[in-house]
Amino acid sequence: MQKLCGVAFILTLVVVVLGAWTRLTDAGLGCPDWPGCYGFNYVPATPGEHALAAERFPDAPLEVTKARNEMIHRYAAGTLGLTILLMAVGSLRRAHRHYRAPAWLLLAMVTGQATLGMLTVTLNLLPFVVMGHLLGGFSILALLFWLLCRGQRSAQRHSLDRSLAPWFWAALLALVVQIALGGWTAANYAAMACTELPVCQGDWVGQWQWSAFHPHGMPAETYQYGVLSQAERATIHAAHRLWAMVTVVLLLVLAWRLLRQPGLRNWGVMLAIMVMVQLMLGVANVVLHLPLWVAVAHNGGAAVLLLILTGTGTRLWRGREAKWHEASYCPPTGPWSGGITSR
């Protein structure tokens, strides 16, 4: 079960990155139907298949590259769904009963993700659905990582400062809000609404539009390439940058406090480094006008920050429960370091 959990975690990470790639290459509607592509279970390749695709969807001309990106994402997501289904079935065994609740929760979450994936296509990239799809993928990733951390142990346990808990929860909440704002920025094609630093060009305060955060937005036949006004997109972009400042401060304060804890120092180092990397990637997105690899890396960096906080939280609470719970817990050296012994 632990190995299966590891496979599911790697697949989820791949799916999250592929989802960012699909969105940033404007391939979210590369296939106008779901779960197939122009009525096929694969990307149409022959001239005859191209003609049939044009006949079936005359208003959605086939673009092979975009369709390929979309179908690769769907294949990976389908493989992940089957893997989590195996975990849920395997958890029915008595020996794996401690995996039962999280495994079935994961199955419910991945089913919900499939539904959101379908709605992303059928509702033509409705921003609220696109953002929900992103947050669902991140949630599955964090839960799988939590399961992996629970299946690892370290040779030494440390008593941890209870005052860390409020800082941890504040940093986690700030990061989740920032990820949601990033998803809303991408879903509304607002990444380049501001091309100057540190905030936005012009009188962005005077042009602030709260309507930019309406969950339904402006009704449209399709939301591809965005339907909001420039002022609304600038509002979304500015909000993402402003909240980023709050998030950076809270994450760095948490990292500094972790560095003072013997059992959490390496987590603090990883957190501080990743915060600075993510900040530089955000700046590079603006300065370099959103190059694809930088934008994908920025999306992946948000996932890594969430994983670091998940591992930190697991280690923090396992340290507090060590007196009465014999289960293994996440090592203070982190999941990417040596010295990890499987349960």
pLDDT the model gives residue 342: 39
In the chain, domain spans: 1-122, 158-343
Q: Distance from first CA to last CA of the chain, Å, rounded? A: 11
Residue pair 292/165 in contact by the 8 Å Cβ criterion:
no
Q: Token pair of 254, please?
A: 């948490």
Distances, alpha carbon 46 to alpha carbons 8, 43, 71, 167, in Å: 34, 10, 17, 57
Residue tagged active-site, from 49, 55, 63, 70:
70
Residue pair 161/251 in contact by the 8 Å Cβ criterion:
no
70 a catalytic residue: yes
Residue pair 87/109 in contact by the 8 Å Cβ criterion:
no
Q: What is the pLDDT along the chain (343 residues), one digit of tens a residue?
A: 889 999 999 999 999 999 999 999 999 999 999 989 999 999 999 999 999 999 999 988 999 999 999 999 999 999 999 999 999 999 888 888 888 899 999 999 999 999 999 999 999 999 999 999 999 999 999 999 999 988 665 544 555 667 888 999 999 999 999 999 999 999 999 999 888 888 787 777 888 888 888 876 567 788 888 889 899 999 999 999 999 999 999 999 999 999 988 888 899 999 999 999 999 999 999 999 989 999 999 999 999 999 999 999 988 876 554 433 444 444 444 444 444 333 3
One-letter amino acid at 86 equals: L
Residue 152's beta-bridge partner residues?
A: 342
